Amino acid sequence: MTSTERSWTFLSNHGHVLVLVAREPGVLLSELSRRVGITERAARSILRDLESAGYLSRTRVGRRNRYEVHPDGPLRHPEESTAMVSDLLAIFPQ
């Protein structure tokens, strides 16, 4: 795939982070940011956004964080607000 073909995606970075954390609740911030293609600072900010909005919670396990996605929340955009996070996550295989 060329860089032109990868210039946009159907999900926002928030969506990518949510899907990845749902698949791998113990993912390291460095790995998360690498796989989504954003900085660690941006990944940390997105995780804070998702946590403060109630879409996930964070638990400290030793020196690492473990995340739990809360799939019963509605999607945020008015056009998709009748769908739940669980509907979005169901699209992507675990």
- Whole-angstrom distance, CA of residue 57 vs CA of residue 44: 13
- Parse the chain into domains and list their residue ranges: 13-91
For 13-91, the fitting CATH number among 3.20.20.70, 3.40.50.720, 3.40.718.10, 1.10.10.10 is: 1.10.10.10
Q: What is the mean pLDDT of residues 13-41?
A: 97
Q: What is the pLDDT of residues 41-87, one digit of tens each?
A: 999 999 999 999 999 999 999 999 999 999 999 999 999 999 999 99
Distances (CA, A) of 36 to 22, 80, 87, 92: 14, 23, 21, 15
Share of the chain above pLDDT 90, in %: 88
- Phi-psi category of residue 12: left, alpha or beta, with phi > 0 → left and psi -120 to 50 → alpha: beta
pTM attached to this predicted model: 0.89
